[in-house]
Amino acid sequence: MAFKGEKLTFDENWKNITCGFGPQFLKLGALPILPTVAQLAKLEPHKPGDETSINGIKYQWEEYCFSWQHGVENDPGHQGYHGLKGQMYDDFIRLGAPAEEKMSKIHIPEETGNYYILSTSVIANDKGNYDKAIRLNKGANAVLAVYSKSCETFLTFRKPGVPKPRKQPISMRWYNDTGLLPFDYSFPSGAKSALFAFESAPGLISFTVRGSSSSVPSAAGFAKASSEVTFPFQGFQSSTEPLALKKHLVPRGKL
């Protein structure tokens, strides 16, 4: 049903996400055994809760979320006696049971198994070679990453020839990297529009929403405003109630 600016009711159907964080992969595991190549080739999860049967046992896929600036939420990694000291890890893939070592968060093998599978799509603006001769199609490219133990690592795809930005304090080195290709496990979802709501502390004057598409979104409206705007935008009335944003989605390609 199209959103027409009516008052929103926030119930269990809405998912709360801290600003800057969000789902990037679907994760399966920890698994007690490594699936065969034939089993891996058949894995095509589409959403959280999808089930996969491995050797007669059913496992459910779940979202794996992180921020390109602050990594995995509530997982600061290494810390000193006085906190992060302006440092931030770059390893946003952090698999295994969380544990503490002195003041730091580490990951150790889980009792249920030691194998993990991450599924997503990497979105490329053009067909060609990326990174170390990795050839991608324009649009969504399926990615299935298999890990044989608990670990802290990263997986990225970059546009060739784009300079890497200087690392900023308390940020991963991927933050504001314009050469980085985005992940989207739900692409293509078939959805034609999406509705977002934002809640802030009192006193909010403005904020900017950034997005990328093959064309400018045809329309965007807010529950608090009747005028149409385009990205980026600023100038919202201060409010303690969530602001709702409707954006028309424009597919950027497909396999």
45 plus 95 within the same structural domain? yes
Q: Would you say residue 128 has pLDDT above 70?
A: yes
Select from 153, 173, 200 the last residue of a domain. Answer: 153
114 plus 30 within the same structural domain? yes
Q: Among residues of the chain, what percentage have pLDDT more than 70?
A: 75
84 plus 130 within the same structural domain? yes
245 plus 149 within the same structural domain? no
pLDDT for residue 210:
63
pLDDT for residue 150:
92
**Tens-digit pLDDT profile for residues 191-225:** 666 777 777 777 777 766 665 554 333 333 333 33
Range of the domain at 31: 21-153
Residue 198 lies in a domain: yes
**In terms of pLDDT, which residue wins out, 238 or 27?**
27
246 plus 147 within the same structural domain? no
pLDDT for residue 94:
96
**In terms of pLDDT, which residue wins out, 57 or 243?**
57
Q: Would you say residue 186 has pLDDT above 60?
A: yes
- 62 close to 117: Cβ distance less than 8 angstroms: no
pLDDT for residue 84:
62
Q: Would you say residue 64 has pLDDT above 70?
A: yes
Least confident interval from 34-43, 76-85, 133-142: 76-85
Residue 5 lies in a domain: no
145 plus 209 within the same structural domain? no
**Tens-digit pLDDT profile for residues 10-27:** 888 888 888 889 999 999
123 plus 61 within the same structural domain? yes
149 plus 194 within the same structural domain? no
Residue 169 lies in a domain: no
Residue 142 lies in a domain: yes
Domain count along the chain: 2
pLDDT for residue 189:
64
Q: Would you say residue 83 has pLDDT above 70?
A: no
**Tens-digit pLDDT profile for residues 149-173:** 999 999 999 998 899 999 998 899 9
**In terms of pLDDT, which residue wins out, 146 or 7?**
146
